[in-house]
Structure 1
């Protein structure tokens, strides 16, 4: 049976819900921006459709009949669901703020140069980047999405790998010309220097003899390497522009190491908001194009 055969006139249903909620024809008319007589006409139309009286009309007040009260309780959740569905559908068209937690280095060196493309496609969504060394609390709604660098396996989060990274040590041309035998190695803060560990194991090279300089963030590591302060582990996706400019070069002339380390999208376990889903799709598209 077709759904529309059992549906009442929807304008009449809307008028009935407003009158039942306010128990007032006047207030319902004001809410719906129509005349009181138009509201009364729609309610009568619904009563005729149902073959039931829905209101008891008194001199200065109205009440729901028993049947009217039962009908109101049954139809109101359905109307609320329609309103919520419509709100969610319209949400991407409204101005929204989308908070992204990520490392400052990824924000500066990879995401920011591409972000104008997202803004052009979705001008109604304002992206706020929240740089932090710590993993942002997606589950606690501190941010809407997070992007992390590592091998995954973070507890209590939903992480999906976006793309891998190619690693090789880099330094300034002048530092290489002067000799790289003494180091030092420039490192950003991390629980352990897994980039150097993985790279040295892959190439069977001992880097433990080099002194280390620990810096707060990978942005600082890159700038220190450009300034000739030592050898940084190059993350090719982040330093591509610096390599093309010639301010960084391969320190040991070893081929890049295709690492299991990569970039991950951290999502809440609940369904994404429309804005977050738009960003997720765009981000996956950008990562896929970076691989080609």
Structure 2
């Protein structure tokens, strides 16, 4: 049987790095190449496959439709190759991921699914960090993080995990007391519970009701979504939170105020430094997260 020709592996590596990092400059720096040397490697790959993989303009390289199709075709095989090499390696060390998450995301969404990930990748272990300033520590003490924000900084690789609506959540008893019809006088006598990182959610909810001038009796601020839910369940106030949090808050006697649809200014995002996607632990978690719809 004739031996099939393999593409130039260094050129393939250059191509994959540009796609994953989203920048030819970043890929060149990571590989220790000049921009012209990186371009030559890509050109050799294009000559091998007979297709234009990138358009080039003003020192920028943009993936073509053929380039995107080529990447989607080879990426699963590159992953299988990496797994095969690992399986034959004598150095079977644990793969360690330092991941930052909020306590509420960890308890409601991540931990109920982690056993699936463990069965799929037994060597991947995750150190969980729920401390402050997660985004600022990505690339330093954290490999990656799942954060709630309106729009991550462009210097990070980011994937939006959901689209949310804002709910006003309170105890069932308080819900009955407030009633079904929005009334600004009634709401002005209430305490609202607001997360420190999500101040615009309350403004969005008030605007949807047409109550921009609403001044509640008090606003209590929290840095923990878990404690906000607990405070709401105990009748201590009205928590302004995401619909996803409400759906997953099982076992608590909570109710949603009013039947209104309010788009949230915030979403959960997975973030890491672009070069981190080349590390095995980050890539395994990232791919599982996307495929599983975490």
Q: Same fold (TM over 0.5)?
A: yes
* Aligned-pair CA distance for 1:155: 6.0
Distance (Å, rounded) in 1 between the aligned partners of 2:106 and 2:215 = 33
Contact 1:136/1:142 (8 A) holds in 2: no
Distance (Å, rounded) in 2 between the aligned partners of 1:117 and 1:171 = 33
Distance (Å, rounded) in 2 between the aligned partners of 1:162 and 1:189 = 21
1:241 aligned to 239, 248, 267, which one? 248
- Which residue does the alignment assign to 1:105? 104
Q: Secondary structure at the match of 2:162?
A: strand
2:256 aligned to 250, 266, 269, which one? 250
Contact 2:98/2:128 (8 A) holds in 1: yes
Contact 1:125/1:275 (8 A) holds in 2: yes
* Aligned-pair CA distance for 1:117: 1.5
Deviations 1:237-270 (A, max 9, x none): 223132x64611112x132323342111111121
Distance (Å, rounded) in 1 between the aligned partners of 2:195 and 2:252 = 22
Residues 3, 257 of structure 1: alpha-carbon distance in 2 compared, 3 angstrom cutoff: closer
- Which residue does the alignment assign to 2:191? 184
- Which residue does the alignment assign to 2:200? 194
- Which residue does the alignment assign to 1:175? 174
Contact 1:170/1:233 (8 A) holds in 2: yes
Distance (Å, rounded) in 2 between the aligned partners of 1:228 and 1:89 = 56
- Which residue does the alignment assign to 1:68? none
Q: Secondary structure at the match of 2:158?
A: strand
- Which residue does the alignment assign to 2:291? 285
- Which residue does the alignment assign to 1:95? 94
Contact 1:101/1:147 (8 A) holds in 2: yes
Residues 218, 3 of structure 1: alpha-carbon distance in 2 compared, 3 angstrom cutoff: closer
Structure ID, larger Rg? 1
Distance (Å, rounded) in 1 between the aligned partners of 2:240 and 2:246 = 10
Distance (Å, rounded) in 1 between the aligned partners of 2:84 and 2:135 = 25
Distance (Å, rounded) in 2 between the aligned partners of 1:124 and 1:163 = 28
Deviations 1:13-57 (A, max 9, x none): xxxxxxxxxxxxxxxxxxxxxxxxxxxxxxxxxxxxxxxxxxxxx
How do residues 265-280 of structure 1 correspond to structure 2 at under 5 angstroms?
Answer: 265-270=270-275, 271-280=277-286
* Matching of residue 262 in structure 1 with residue 258 in structure 2: no
Distance (Å, rounded) in 1 between the aligned partners of 2:106 and 2:98 = 13
- Which residue does the alignment assign to 2:228? 221
Residues 87, 108 of structure 1: alpha-carbon distance in 2 compared, 3 angstrom cutoff: closer
CA RMSD of superposed structures (Å): 3.0
Gap runs ≥5 in structure 1: 5-84
Contact 2:204/2:263 (8 A) holds in 1: no
- Which residue does the alignment assign to 1:162? 161
Distance (Å, rounded) in 1 between the aligned partners of 2:131 and 2:251 = 28
User: Which portions of structure 1, spanning 4 or more consecutive aligned residues, are displaced by more than 6 angstroms?
Assistant: 85-88
* Aligned-pair CA distance for 1:139: 5.2
* Aligned-pair CA distance for 1:284: 1.3
Contact 2:135/2:147 (8 A) holds in 1: no
